[in-house]
Structure 1
Amino acid sequence: MIKHRFTGLLLATCLVSFGAAAVSADQVIKPVRGTVDAVSDNSLRITTRQGEKMVVKLTDKTRVNSISKAQISDIKADSFIGSAAVAQANGTLEALEVHIFAPELRGSGEGFNPFQSADGNVNTMTNGTVGNVVNSHGRTLTVKYHDKEKTIIVPDNVPVVLISPGNRSLLQPGTKVVLSTMKDEHGDLVARGVSAGKDGLTPPM
């Protein structure tokens, strides 16, 4: 019963964020977050942040990106960014984190989607191009995606990181990772993408 109530609350949050259109649980982006225990040519063993041991397959199509520290001042007009954020009553979004994409990754995941944040709550993820930037008590951004835009408030204390193309040498025991996964025909988890924290960084998204 508690689980059903919790699921209902998550979906209710989605409905607030996305208007009248119903959002089903399988539409929510749910990254796998954890720490690398071991890596081989075709698999990654991790311990999730909840303590679960997990094996995720790697393929020749698995993308690996590097996550490194950045500053709020690195967010500029025309930057292509992503931001996990909480919808506010006035229609704006308050950022939980901001990741700036390197030029080679411009366009990645463009759009506005329901997203399960690290605390388990379903919030939003906006990936798009920064238009106006107002520098006052943090940053207020207009972020354009396709033919739409959102206003995102970025407080001064929000973590900001840079996402750059990486390779599997980043996947070492102890590395903090965030994975985008899917299930194959056998029901096994396969990594479509792995974002790996550089120099001990825990990816904030």
Structure 2
Amino acid sequence: MLLALTGGLSLQAGLATAQAPAPQRVRLRGRIDSIAADKLDMTLRDGGKASATLPANLRVTEMMPVKLSDIREDSYIGVAAMSQPDGVLRAMQVVVFPASSRGVGEGHYPWVMGEGSTMTNGTVGSMTNGTVGRVGSGQDVVLTVRYKDGEQRILVPEDASILTFTPASRDMLAPGTEIILNGTRAADGSIAAASINVGKDGVLPPS
């Protein structure tokens, strides 16, 4: 009977664990209001407020602008693009990942910049000048971005922002600083940060 009871309790605990909702991934952009060793309060771009707990191993990175010419074949990049009426992808922002981040978020999927926006993370297979469909001036750069099971041809206009990032000190987080916070939201609504992006001289990728 004891074994049966123990087994029943274990099964119930397992079912409860299985039914517990997984934490929801969140990406928040805004300005730091206050910060302590383990907590951050911020005002979001829409004027709302949010708080997040900060782990001891919080990753802080600094975003900075680079040139399109810094992209090479075999560079690992992330391209936020907007799908045009004919289906062509027109880049709004390209992030050049450091070698240590190769493979992060690899693939092609919808993004958070509005209807029709996509993110493509992959390796640059080729760089040419021209147009994609009827989009482009003929002098724009066209990237072929390859990822597991596919590739995308993306036109990069002159007004696209080209960025990279490097590890940064937690000391950069101060009231008034513009940030992008990546983390998870638990079922009770609490937010736990995993990483924070800080823009050099106010530069941040669109979100």
Task: Calculate the TM-score normalised by the size of structure 2.
Answer: 0.76
Task: Write the distance in 1 (CA, Å) between the matches of 2:26 and 2:39.
Answer: 20
* Distance change in 2, residues 1:155/1:114 (3 Å): same
The residue aligned with 2:82 is 86
Matched, 1:49 2:45: yes
Change (3 A) 1:58 1:122: farther
CA RMSD of aligned residues (A): 2.2
Verify: 1:126 aligned to 2:114, yes or no.
no
Q: Which residue in the other structure is 2:14 paired with?
A: none
- 1:60 deviates by 3.1
Aligned residue number for residue 14 of structure 1: none
**Is 1:37 matched with 2:33?**
yes
Supply the AA of the counterpart residue of 1:144: R
| Gap change, CA 1:129 and 1:62, over 3 Å in 2 | same
User: Where in structure 2 are the equivalents of 1:13-162 lying within 5 Å?
Assistant: 31-117=27-113, 120-121=114-115, 123-136=117-130, 137-162=139-164
Count how many residue pairs are aligned between Structure 1 and Structure 2: 176
Q: Which amino acid is 1:133 matched to?
A: M
TM-score (norm 1): 0.77
Instruction: Tell me the SS of whatever aligns to 2:117.
Output: strand
Q: Which moved more, 1:183-192 or 1:70-79?
A: 183-192
Aligned to 2:175: 173
Distance 1:113 1:186 in 2: 28
Conserved 8 A contact 2:93-2:205: no
Larger Rg: 2
Percent identical residues: 38
- Residue matched to 1:5: none
Match of 1:184 in 2: 186
Structure 1's unaligned 5+ residue stretches are 1-28
Residues 56 and 121 of structure 1, relative CA distance in 2, 3 Å threshold: farther
Q: Gaps spanning 5+ residues in structure 2: where?
A: 1-24, 131-138
Indicate the SS of the match to 2:100.
helix
